[in-house]
A and B are shown apart, each in its own frame.
Chain A
Amino acid sequence: MSLVEISDMKRHYVMPSETVKALDGIDLSIDKGERIILLGPSGSGKTTLLNCVAALDNPTAGKYTFEGHEVPRGHSEKMTSFRRENIGYVFQFFNLLQDLTVLENILLIQELSDGRDKNRALELLKLVGLEGEVDRFPGEISGGQQQRVAIARSLAKSPKLLLGDELTGNLDSATSTKVMEVLVKACEAEEITVIMVTHDESLAKYATRVVRLDSGKIISDEKVNN
C-alpha cells in the first residue's frame, strides 16, 4: 500500500475575473521511503500541491488518502491533528522561535504533540551535527545551522512524511549541500518519506524521484537512482 495516494486532485481559486486552476487533476502515488522533488516554474502549482498534501489547504476536488485513510479536509482541528501525527514541515526561512534555544525549539514541538523527550531531541541534534549548539539561541548560529535545527525539529515527533518548501532557497550552495546531506541522512535513519519543493534542479541528486509540474498538471514523473 502506498503511503500517499492522490487521484484527480484539483485546487481552483475563483477570482472575480477568472478561475485560477492551481492544481488541475493531479494523480500521484508515493511509497514509503521515497524522496521526491517537485520542480517547476513559478505558478506551476508546486506549493499548492505541498499545502494540500500537508492538509494545510483544502483541495477543490479529487481523492487524497494517507496510509489508506482519507485525509480530513474542511475541518481545521482534524487537519491539524493529521499534521501532528504524520507530517513534518521545513520552511525556507527556518522559522525557529527566537526566544528558545536550539534544544528548546525541539522540545517545544514535542510538548505540543506527544510529550517531552529530551534524549530524542539530543539524538536528533546529534544526527544533524549540532550536538555542540544545544544551548545557543537561533540568533547565535548560522543560517545553515538554523535550517538543520529546523530539520531536527520537524523530525522530533517522528513524522511519516517530511515536507520542505524551498528549504535551501535561503542558503548558499555549500551550505545547501550540507543541509541536504543531513536531511537525506536523517530521513534514511528515521525511514521518513520526503517531498521537497524547489526551483533548484541541482537538488535532484538527493531525490529518488523527480516530479515536474506546469500549469497545475504533472508533466513528468521519473525515478532516479540516488
Chain B
Amino acid sequence: MSMLLTKRLARSLWRTKLRLSAVILMVSIGVFAGIAFGAYAMSVTTLYDDIYEDDEQGVNLPDLWVENNAGNWNATTAENLCQEIRDQWPSDTLELDHCEPRLKSNGQFFSESAEIGMVPSVWHGIDEGEVDKVWIPEHDCCSGRMATAANEIVIDQHAVEGLNIEVGDTVRISAGAGFALNYTVVGIGFHSNHLYFTIGEEIIPAQPGTFVTGYMTDEGLEVLANFTAGESNLLLIDVVGTPDSQAADESGLADLITGISAIVSENNDSPTGVYDRTGVHSVEFLRADVEGAMKTYPIVTGMIAIVAGITIFLSLQRLIQTQAKEIAVLRTLGVKRMSIMPGYAIAPIFIGGIGCVLGAIPGVLFGAPAMVSMYESIIGIPIIDHSLPTSLVIQIVVTAMLIVFLSGLRPAWQASRLQPLEVLRGQHEIRVSSRMLQKMTSKLPATVGLTIRSSVRKPVRMMFTFLAVGLSMLIFGSMIIMMDSFGDIFLGGLDERQSWDAQAFTMGNEDAILEWADENDAEHEFMIVFPGNPEGDNRQLTAYGLENVTTEAGESMYLVYLSEGDLPSENQTIPEVLVDEGLNYFLDWEIGETHSIEFGTKTVEVKITGFTRGELSRTVYFHRADLAEVVGLEATVVMLQLPDGVETDEQLAQSSLGITVREDSVDAVMTLLEQQQGIFLAIQGLGILIAVAVLFNTLVMNLAERDTELATLRVLGASNNRLGLMLFGEHLGIGLIGGILGCIFSILGTKFMMSSFVTWTAYFTVAPSNESIFLLIGIVVFISISLTPFGMWRIKKMDLVEKVKDLSQ
C-alpha cells in the first residue's frame, strides 16, 4: 500500500469533514450509549444475584410462595402444611431446604406531618429465619438491625426519604384492626418483595412519602393486626440451589408447584395460590428489567453503529465515484488493485477508531456512572459494586469497529474493480433510466418527472438511506411509541374516566368502611380483587369483580377498556368475563371460548365475551356477584366517591387494610413522568440528531451528484427559484417516503423490541396514536425540506464559469 495513495485518500476525506464529523459522532454516540447501558446492565445483574444469594450477605430468596388469599392459617395449620409438604415432597430432582410460615398484612402509616397524613403500607412479620431475610447492607443507605421485640420495626429504605424517618424514631401504624400502635424504628433496610418499590403491582415506583413497608417480628404484626399468636398467610419454600423459574418445566419447578398445590388443597380449604419467583412483582419486574437492559445495550450500540456504517458506506461510495477518474488514471499507469483497495478499507477503521475513543472515554468516565446513578435514583437500590468490566468496553468497541470495518469493504472492492477504459470513456456514468418509471411519470410535467426519477435513481443508496433513517428514527420513534403505549398502563385504573376517589381495602370488615361512608355522605361501590390462575397453569392472574362491568361513565366507578367483543352479562350459567389482551396473547384464549380458572382449591369455568386493553398483568373481569360466589367474599375493596370537602381520615384508615387515594396516585405518576422527561427528551434528541445526520449526509450527496445537471440548467437559464421549487418537491417526496418508511420501521422495530421484553407479568402492546404517527412522519419531512435552503444556497454559490469548464472537459 502506497503512503502517497493513503495520503491522497486522507486529504479527499478531509474535504468532506462535515460529513466525516457526523459519522464519527454517530460511532461515538453508539459506543457511549453501549458502555452506559452495558455498565448498568452488568451492575444490576450482579446486584440482584448478590441480594438473593443464600449466604451471610444475601437474603436467601425463596423459590416458591404458598399464599392464603382469603385469610390466615392458624399456627397449627401452617405448621401442618409445612410438615405435609416435607413429608410428601413431590419432586425427585429438587430438594427441600426450608419451609417457613410468614405473616404479611396491608395497613396504614400515620405521619406526624399533616402534609403527609396517612400513607398506605405493607407490614411483614419476619422473625429472624433462614429464608427471605431483610437486607441491611453495609452502605450509607441503611443502618440498624432486625426487629427483635414486639414493638420494634425496620422501615424500608425507599420510604425513609419522603418521611424523614431515622433509627430511634417512633412511628404510629395500623393494620386494619381498628386501632393504631407505636413502634420504635430499629433499622432501615430492604426486602425482596419491595426492592422495586411500588404500591401493589403498579409499573412505576412509588414516590417518596406515598408508600411504606416495614418489617417487624411475627408477634409485633400479630398484635398490630389483632391476630392470634402464630397466624400466617404465607409459606416460604426454599429449594436447595436455585431452579430456573424462567424455565419452570425444565427445572422441575412447574411439577413442584402442581404437587405442592395438590398437597395444600388436600389439607386446607382456603383459596390458596402457589407461585414461583415469576409471581413476585418486584422480583419479576427487576429480572425483566435487567434482562431487557442486557438485551438492549448490544442492540442500541449495534443499531447506531449500523447507521454509522451505512453512512460510511454511502460516503465512501460517493467518494469513489468522484475519484473514479483518478483511480482509472492510476490503474492505467500500472497501480495494482491491491494498492488501491487497502486505503478505502482502512479509512473506516480510522473513522471508527476515532469515534470509539471519543465515545469510550466519556462513556467510562461519565456515561456509566450517570446511568448507574440514574438507576439508583429511580429504583432506589444502592449499587454496592460499581464495577465496569474491561471486557464490556472491549466488547462494545470491537462490535462498533467490526460494523464500520465491514461497511468499508464493498466500496473498497468497488474501487479496486473500476475498469479504467470505461471510466475514462465516461461509460461508467452512462445509465439508462427505468422505462417503467418513465411510463408511470410520462404524463407529469418534466420537472416533476425529473424530481421523481432522480430521487429513485440509485435504489440501493435510497434503500440504505431509508434503512439508516428508519434505524435512527427507531431510537426516537420507539420512545414516542412506547410513551403512547405505556400511557394507559401507567395510569391503569386511575385516569380521568374513572370516578372513584379512594379505594379502601378490606378482608371481611367492610361494614366499618360502609359506616364511615354513610357518616361522610360518600357513595360506595364494592369490588373484589382476587388472585387466581388458569387451570393447569401456575402463572398468576388477577380477577376483578366489578359491580357493573361497563365502559360507560356514570354506570360504574371503575370502567374497563373494551378493545374487542362485548360486555359480559351477569348471572349466567357459565359466568361471562372479559379477559385482557395478554391472556389472548399468552394462552390463545379467544372470544366465545370457555376456560377454567382456579382460585385456590376452587375451579370455575368462564365464558369470554371480550378483550380489554391497558393491563400490565393478566386480568379477568367478572361481575362481582359471579366472583363473590366463587371466592366466598363480598368485597376486598370498597371504592368511594367523596363529596366536596371530605377526605379519607384516620378512622377510615384504621378500619381498612389500606387506602389508595386516586388523586395522590395520579400525582405520583405525573411526578415520575415529569422526572423522566429530561431523559426521554435526551434520548429523543439523540435519535433526531442521528436522523438529521443521516438525511443531511444523503441529501448533500444527492445534491453534489446533481451538480452537473443543476449547472446545466442554470447555464440554460433556469432561475434559482424554479430550481429551488424542484428541490423542494424532491425533498418533500424523499421526506414523505422516508417519513412513512421511518414510521413503519419505528413501529415494527418497537414491536419487535417490545415483544422480546413481554412477560406474563408485564404484557404491553405497541399502539401508536395518530398524533405520534404524524409527528414521526412530520419530523422526517421537516428535516428533509429544511435542507432545501441549503441546496438553493449551494446552487446560488455555484461557480458557473468553473462548472462550464468542467462540462467542457
Q: A76, A112, A137: which contacts B713 (Cβ < 8 A)?
A: A112
Q: Are B808 and A165 in contact (CB under 8 A)?
A: yes
The contact string, 1 if C-beta is below 8 Å from chain B, for chain A 74-100, is: 001100110111011101110101111
Known: A92-B807, A97-B450. A84 touches B432 (CB 8 A): no
Q: Which of B16-24, B251-259, B715-723 contacts A (4 or more CB under 8 A)?
A: B715-723
Q: Quick check: A57 and B801 within 8 Å, CB to CB?
A: yes
Contact with B along A154-179 (1 / 0, CB 8 A): 10010000000110010000000000
At the interface, yes or no: A116 with Cβ under 8 Å from chain B? yes
Docked-complex contact B718 and A139, CB < 8 angstroms: no
Is A111 positioned at the interface, with any CB of B under 8 Å from its CB?
yes
Neighbouring A residues of B716 by C-beta, 8 Å? 83-84, 88-89, 109, 112, 153-154
Mask for B434-450, Cβ within 8 A of A = 1, else 0? 00001000100111011
Asked whether A51 lies within 8 Å of B801 as measured between CB atoms, the reply is: yes
Q: Measured between alpha carbons, how far is A203 from B602 in the docked complex, in Å?
A: 106
CB-based contact A139/B717 at 8 Å = no
B719 touching A139 by the CB < 8 A rule?
A: no
Determine whether the beta carbon of A87 is less than 8 Å from that of B450. Answer: no
Asked whether A181 is an interface residue with its Cβ less than 8 Å from the other chain, the reply is no
Contact of B804 among A51, A81, A135 (CB under 8 A): A51
Chain A hits for B445, CB < 8 A:
107, 111, 116
Contact A112 B447 (CB under 8 A): yes
Residues of chain A within 8 A of B722, CB atoms compared: 112
* Residues on A with beta carbons closer than 8 Å to the beta carbon of B457: 99
Interface residues of B in 450-490 (CB under 8 A from A): 450, 453-454, 457
The contact string, 1 if C-beta is below 8 Å from chain A, for chain B 768-809, is 000000000000000000000000000010001100110111
Closest to A79 in B: B800
Known pairs A99-B433, A112-B722; A104 contacts B449 (CB<8 A): yes
B714 interfacial contact with A, CB 8 Å: yes
Q: Given the complex, which residues of A lie within 8 Å of B442, measured CB to CB? A: 101, 104
Given A56-B800, A95-B712, A137 and B446 contact (CB-CB distance below 8 Å): no
Complex Cα gap A216–B409 (Å)? 50
Interchain CB contact under 8 A, A76 and B718: no
Instruction: Flag if B808 contacts A93 (CB, 8 Å).
Output: yes
Interface flag for A208 (CB, 8 Å): no
Q: Which of B419-435 contact A (CB under 8 A)?
A: 426, 430-433
Chain A nearest Cβ from B522, distance in angstroms: 75
Contact: B719 with A77, CB < 8 Å?
A: yes
Question: Which residues of chain A in 88-141 are interfacial with respect to chain B, using CB atoms and an 8 Å cutoff?
Answer: 88-89, 91-93, 95, 97-101, 104-105, 107-109, 111-113, 116, 135, 137, 139-140
Q: Which residues of A contact B796 (CB under 8 A)?
A: 76
Q: Which one of B453, B723, B804, B809 lies within 8 Å of A100 (CB-CB)? A: B453
The reply to whether B808 and A139 form a contact with Cβ atoms under 8 Å apart is no
- From residue 43 to 72 of chain B, which have CB atoms closer than 8 A to chain A? none
Are the C-beta atoms of B807 and A99 separated by less than 8 Å?
no
Nearest B residue to A84, CB-CB: B717
For the complex, is A204 an interface residue (Cβ under 8 Å from B)? no
Is there contact, CB below 8 Å, between B450 and A101? no
Alpha-carbon separation in the docked complex, A105 to B804 (Å): 19
Residue B709 at the chain A interface, CB threshold 8 Å: yes
Q: A134–B714 Cα gap in the complex (Å)?
A: 24
Q: Interface digits, A38-65 against B, CB 8 Å rule (1 contact, 0 not)?
A: 0000000001000100101100000000
Say what secondary structure dominates the interface of chain B: helix
Question: Given A56-B800, A140-B432, are A100 and B719 also a contact pair (CB < 8 Å)?
Answer: no
Known: A95-B708, A99-B433. Is A108-B450 also a contact (CB below 8 A)?
Answer: yes
B706's nearest neighbour on chain A, judged by CB, is A97
- By the criterion CB–CB under 8 Å, are B717 and A91 in contact? no
B717 touching A112 by the CB < 8 A rule?
Answer: yes
- The docked-state distance in angstroms from the alpha carbon of A161 to that of B124 is 98
Chain A residues with CB under 8 A of B801: 51, 56-57
Q: Are A84 and B450 in contact (CB under 8 A)?
A: no
A107 CB contact (under 8 Å) in B446, B454, B713, B807: B446
A40 to B804, CA, bound (A): 19
Give chain A nearest CB distance to B787 CB in angstroms: 20
- Which residues in A have their C-beta under 8 angstroms from that of B432? 98, 137, 139-140
Known A51-B804, A76-B796, A109-B716: A139·B449 in contact at CB below 8 Å? no
Complex interface: chain A residues within 8 A of B714 (CB):
80
Knowing A97-B709, A140-B432, A154-B716, the reply to whether A92 touches B808 (Cβ < 8 A) is yes
Complex CA distance for A56 and B807, rounded to whole angstroms: 14
Asked whether A80 lies within 8 Å of B807 as measured between CB atoms, the reply is no
- In the complex, chain B residues whose CB is within 8 Å of the CB of A93: 426, 807-808
A169 to B807, CA, bound (A): 12
- B residues less than 8 Å from A84 (CB atoms): 716-719
Please give, as numbers and ranges, the residues of chain B lying within 8 Å of A98 by CB-CB distance.
Answer: 430-433
Does A99 contact B717, Cβ atoms closer than 8 Å?
Answer: no
Partner pick for B807 among A95, A109, A139, CB 8 A cutoff: A95
- Closest A residue to B711 by beta carbon equals A95
Contact check, A99 vs B454: say whether CB atoms are below 8 A apart. Answer: yes
A101→B449 CA distance, assembly (Å): 10
User: Do B717 and A137 have beta carbons less than 8 Å apart?
Assistant: no
Name the A residues within 8 Å of B449 (CB-CB). Answer: 99-100, 104
Interface digits, A133-153 against B, CB 8 Å rule (1 contact, 0 not)? 001010110000000000001
Which residues from A are CB-within-8-Å of B807? 91-93, 95
Residues on A with C-beta less than 8 A from B447 are 108, 111-112
Q: Which residues of B contact A109 (CB under 8 A)?
A: 713, 716-718
Closest 9 CB pairs of A and B: A84-B717, A99-B453, A108-B446, A112-B718, A139-B432, A107-B446, A83-B717, A95-B712, A104-B446
Q: Which residues on A are within 8 Å of B, measured CB to CB?
A: 47, 51, 54, 56-57, 76-77, 80-81, 83-85, 87-89, 91-93, 95, 97-101, 104-105, 107-109, 111-113, 116, 135, 137, 139-140, 153-154, 157, 165-166, 169
A-B contact pairs, 23 of them (CB 8 A): A56-B715, A56-B800, A56-B804, A77-B719, A91-B712, A91-B715, A95-B708, A95-B807, A97-B450, A97-B712, A99-B453, A99-B454, A100-B433, A101-B438, A108-B446, A108-B713, A109-B718, A112-B713, A112-B717, A113-B718, A116-B446, A139-B430, A140-B432
Q: A76-B796, A83-B717 are in contact. List 19 more A-B contacts (CB 8 A).
A: A56-B801, A57-B800, A57-B801, A76-B720, A81-B717, A84-B716, A84-B717, A84-B718, A85-B717, A87-B717, A91-B807, A92-B808, A99-B450, A100-B449, A100-B450, A109-B713, A112-B722, A137-B433, A157-B717
